[in-house]
Chains A and B, each alone.
Chain A
Amino acid sequence: MNNNSVLFEEDFKIKGWDFTNAGEASLKIKNYLKEVGIAENILKRVAITSYEAEMNIVLYAKEGTINFKVTPKKVLLEVKDRGPGIEDVELAMKEGYSTATEEIRNMGFGAGMGLPNIKKNADMFVIKSEPGKGTKLNIEVYLK
């Protein structure tokens, strides 16, 4: 089998400020990986990166999508949103940097650890953002 062939693919729509469903897409991704027998330490890293990215859409953007793909070698997440984008990506990547409002902080978010946490848990991570338009994250976690 070709190493790049897609074994599974699913798209999830995420809505900004929708706390009724926030996190459910990442839980589905996690459960899928569990069902097909992916190792705990790997599926946990995927779940954490996906969840932090999903919450960033909910907290900061209008709407977005998570494209989830599994190949024989890795799990790929492409997380795209339409939203305010990030002016200074390098700054946003710093541990503790957050523009979260008081309201967001009261919900337990806004520690400024989301993007750093994604970077830490991913084997490959690219973030691109266009202020006024949106943000795109490409995340890969290798299966071994």
Chain B
Amino acid sequence: MKIKKIKEILNAELLTDDINTDVEIQAVNCADLMSDVLAFQNKGGLLITGLINIQVLRTAAITDIVAIVFVRGKIPDKAVIDEAKSKNILLLCTKLPMYEACGLLYKEGLKGISE
């Protein structure tokens, strides 16, 4: 599923406007624990998380996640957004709580990371 479509479904805001949103997301991982992110092959994946610190970004970069959705309207600092741009990781922000964000994407056919 294209990022554009994900943005639409989640009624999300794009925080990294200069990165190409024409990428295809293969699967989704949802976690607030960084070790849970690292436990999977996330290549080409999307991470849905409630954490907005710089470590989320570094963890995502380590495991080749291409986009992150922050839930419940949380927005990271500018430093995090700038680093995301330099690492070419897309950041999105939705007002939806985590369960609903995951449920909506799943309903539209986006698969989980272990499927």
Contact = CB atoms under 8 A, between A and B. Distances in A.
Interface stretch (B6-14, B29-37, B105-113): B29-37
Given A52-B35, A113-B36, A114-B35, A108 B59 contact: yes
- A-side binding surface: helix, strand, loop or mixed? helix
Contacts of A48: 38, 62-63
Interface in B48-95: 49, 51, 53-56, 58-59, 61-64
A108 B61 CA distance: 15
Contacts of B58: 22-24, 27, 51
Contacts of A107: 51, 53, 55
Contacts of B61: 23, 27
Contacts of A136: none
Interface residues of A, number: 23
Given A111-B33, A111-B34, A114-B35, A23 B63 contact: no
Given A22-B55, A44-B64, A109-B33, 16 more contacts: A20-B54, A23-B58, A23-B59, A23-B62, A24-B58, A26-B62, A44-B43, A51-B38, A51-B62, A108-B34, A108-B49, A111-B33, A112-B35, A113-B38, A113-B39, A117-B38
